[in-house]
Amino acid sequence: MTLQINTNVAALNAQRNLGRTNRTLGGLFEQLSSGMRVNRAADDAAGLAISEKMRAQIRGMRQGQRNAQDGISMLQTAEGALGEVHGILQRVRELAIQAGNTTLSSSDRAAIGEEMLALRSEVDNISNRTRFNGQQLLTGALAVTLDGAASTADTVTSTANGATVSVASIDVSRAESSSTYNLANTGAVLTASVTTSGYTRSETFTVQDMGANATQAIDFEQLGITINVAHDANAGNVTGATIATAFNGTTAVTTASSSAIFRVGAEVGDDVALSFQDMRASALGSAGNKLSTLIADNSAVSTSAKADTLVTSIDEAIEQVSTFRAQLGAAQNQMETAVNSLAVSVENLSASESRIRDADIAQVSSELVAKQIMQQAGVSVLSQANTAPQAVLSLLQQ
């Protein structure tokens, strides 16, 4: 056995172990005070990196939930206004049916026309003042439009028997934004197809023969695109097959900037897109006979023939409003489903992130007790190690 004074190895060993115990205790106190197992990258580098990605997803999903809820409020605002528009159209149709009766005098018809004029004006007023956060919802400001520079279907003409059928307009307000609709025919059957998100959807329409001054709406209802064609004044008949063939290989391309986009997820592309259609009188009604044209003044039902034409146009307007309300309802249900789905994802991701970052208080408390005992023991051992060299003094006594 050797006795040393200058180097107290036992004390150094006790100091080293006591220091390690104190550092461990510091970490345990930090975990208990913060509730977190990982407070810095050194605690768990891989766990920190993984949990930060989870946190980004969780916060993005929570914001997506709020976005969806705001979107639902926006849709409800538009749908509520359209309920009033529906009521107005029903009243105008009722008046038009009344005007079909020959018992009415000219002054009676003028009175009916005055009410129709006021109701038509209110349709426009409702559309103009229906806003959400300053954005007009029913004026077409948030509608998908046709990209005239990229489309080729809008310039199609079909000539036969000295007569010409040409495209009057293409309505894509119900279509997907930033999409290309390809047209192809087999005889008189015209097919429109579009590829979005990797999926191709197609719809067919059988084009009818057309005579002088006739109009026809080639309506791909499910895809949301309507091509309005018109025959000139010449008497020659143009067959549906001839018209459909003229569209073969052409495209209708929609714009990207106008439609409403609701970000209902944590990533780019987690969107619900909806085109808010123009619900003003100038956009409602049958092709060539919009309500703004038929009800321009109080002479709208001055004859039974005018009343009959108006009934047909109003029926088309009611169908347009009904279709758009159905789309609003479908989008609302879609976003409510997204909110529920996001809630489940947030719950599961939060649980996963908690398992990585949160401290197990029961385990940490147990470790704390053990380390506190070790600290007390270490202090006691260090005290004894510091006094051990004093044994040398007994050898120096005379």
**pLDDT tens figures, 308-362:** 999 999 998 999 899 889 989 999 999 999 999 999 999 999 999 888 888 888 8
> What confidence score (pLDDT) does residue 107 get?
92
Neighbours of 167 (CB within 10 A): 20
Q: Report H helices in 2-135.
A: 9-34, 45-99, 106-129
pLDDT computed for residue 1 by the predictor: 56
175 in a structural domain? yes
Average pLDDT, stretch 291-301?
A: 91
Residue 330 lies in a domain: no
Cα dihedral 348, 349, 353, 359 in deg (nearest 10): -30
Per-residue pLDDT averaged across 178-186, rounded? 92
In a domain, residue 115? The reply is no
What average pLDDT does range 298-313 have in this prediction?
91
Closest C-alpha to 14, from 371, 386, 372, 391: 386
Supply the range of the domain harboring residue 148: 144-257
Whether residue 95 is contained in a domain is answered as no
Q: How many other CB atoms sit within 10 Å of the CB of residue 296? A: 13
Examine residue 309 and state whether it is found in any structural domain, yes or no.
no
For residue 43, being part of any structural domain is answered with: no
Structurally, how many domains does the chain consist of?
1
Judge whether residue 5 has pLDDT over 80.
no
Residue 251: inside a domain = yes
pLDDT at 54: 92
In contact, 318 and 123? CB cutoff 8 Å: no
pTM of the complete model: 0.72
Q: Is residue 287 part of a domain?
A: no
Q: What is the mean pLDDT of residues 204-209?
A: 94
Q: Cβ-count burial of 378 within 10 angstroms (0-12 exposed, 13-18 middle, 19+ buried)?
A: buried
- Which residue's structure tokens are 């279509």? 175
Task: Please give the full DSSP string across 53-65, using - where no structure is assigned.
Answer: HHHHHHHHHHHHH
| Confidence at 398, pLDDT banded by 50, 70, 90 | low
CA distance readout (Å), 124 to 120, 284, 299: 7, 11, 19
Instruction: Confirm if 277 and 140 have CB atoms less than 8 A apart.
Output: yes
